[in-house]
Amino acid sequence: MLGNFSYCNPTKLYFGEDSLNYLNTELPRYGKNVVLIYGGGSIKKNGIYDDVMSILKENEKNVAEIQGVMPNPTVDKLYEGVKIARDHKADLLLAVGGGSVCDYAKAVSVSVNCEEDPWEKYYLRFEEPECETLPVGCVLTMVGTGSEMNAGAVITNHGTKQKIGHVFADEKIMPRFSILNPRYTLTLPHYQMVAGIYDIFNHICEQYFSGKDDNTSDYISEGLMRSVLHASRIANKDPQDYEARSNLMWTATWALNTLISRGKTTDWMVHMLGQSVGAYTDATHGMTLAAVSLPYYRYILPYGVEKFKQFAVNVWDVDPAGKSEEEVAREGLKGMENWMKELGLVMNLKDLGVTEEMIEGIAKGTLIMEGGYKVLKLEEIVEILKESLQGN
């Protein structure tokens, strides 16, 4: 392990079937004015809304609502929410939903007392908040992003065709508490469940495929990946399997709560490609990652072949005997491809509505990261996207 780092994650987690009761423990810590933030209505159908509301009432909170936070929340929706939170003099932002709702709450948190335009400040200039921010609490209903225990907030601007994530440096932007009840995820449509599963897996890959040192973080990653594979196969056959769904919920949290990136550089190019695809198509986040992953990993494999071999052996149980390093490495990716197909993930960009004409714009909108095995040039990004359009 070669890197120097600090590690602090202050989010308090309550996990399990009874976890919502702990909202009663948390609410008294904050002032009277709560803004309840949620999406397009799933929490009203499955009863979570009523349960949360009754706890808010019991605790005598004065509640305003921001409803209709869409998947891939937009900057216009952010402006709307900032106004509601300001008018309500919010003491706590309570997000009830998936990554979109949790991310959105964090974006509102850093914007309520900000005098500048939050899109320009946080998403174009990547500055940190200088103003007072609001505490965020989270009741998670969709598994994948890790937003419940990190300081990331992704916002989409349809006007400029940009989808940008800001991972805030200050851990006070992380949710103060998150309630993780795996049972809440059982009403997710299969498409969302598998998109979330691939999101988890890819978060781990993004932090795993970098560096050549012997690093404890990579061994933790391999264990998490094995758990995702095992649980995902069970959940894919029986989405109501509580044990599998609870393991997926827990791996998702650990996949992106800053632990497994300690002491390492990180890649994140699949996410940069996926986010630019998202800006053009508004497609489901995990599916955008699935569609570009294999062409990307096949392309960078020669630059990090040792790690791809380790991935093949330790995650996909490839027997290395009598094979070249590259053969073993490619067998690992084959294992990953088979698993992705088994889950029914979207394997090409065409199925997400991408056309040949969009490729140049998507490539130009892709932020180029420098922590992985290969710093891509624009023409290489175009090639990878074209291959992703053909399918795998």
What phi-psi label fits residue 190: left (phi over 0), alpha (psi between -120 and 50 degrees) or beta? alpha
267 near Zn ion (CB under 5 A): no
- Shortest Å distance, C-beta 286 to Zn ion: 7
**What separation in angstroms does the CA of 335 have from each of 21, 312, 323, 374?**
41, 8, 16, 23
Query: Site residues (CB under 6 A) for ligand NZQ?
Result: 39-43, 46, 71-72, 97-101, 103, 141-142, 144-147, 150, 152, 154, 165, 184-185, 187-188, 192, 196, 199, 256, 271, 285
Tell me how far CA of residue 76 lies from CA of 70, 103, 118, 156, 161, in angstroms: 11, 14, 11, 9, 13
Residue 211 interacting partner from Zn ion, ligand NZQ, none (CB closer than 5 to 8 Å by kind) = none
Residues 6+ apart with CB under 8 A from 343: 194, 197, 198, 232, 236
Is 77 or 309 the residue whose CB approaches ligand NZQ more closely? 77
Of 306, 21, 290, 272, the C-alpha closest to 162 is 272
Degrees (nearest 5) of the Cα angle 164, 166, 168? Answer: 175
* Residue among 330 and 372 whose Cβ is closer to ligand NZQ: 372
- As measured in angstroms, the least distance from the Cβ of 191 to Zn ion is 16
Amino acid symbol at 71: P
Q: Which two tokens stand for residue 257?
A: 């709560």
> What character string, x for contact with Zn ion (CB under 5 A) and - otherwise, covers 289-318?
------------------------------
**Cα–Cα distance measured from residue 140 to residue 242, given in angstroms and rounded to the nearest whole number:** 16
Q: Which residue number, 199 or 267, has a Cβ lying nearer to Zn ion?
A: 199
- Contact call for residue 199 and Zn ion (CB under 5 A): yes
Q: Decide whether 144 or 330 has the Cβ nearer to ligand NZQ.
A: 144
Question: Closer to ligand NZQ at the Cβ: 98 or 295?
Answer: 98
Least distance between ligand NZQ and beta carbon 363 (Å) = 19
**Smallest distance from Zn ion to CB 200, Å:** 8
Q: Measure the CA–CA gap between 315 and 309, rounded to whole angstroms.
A: 10
Using CB under 5 A, list all residues that contact Zn ion: 199
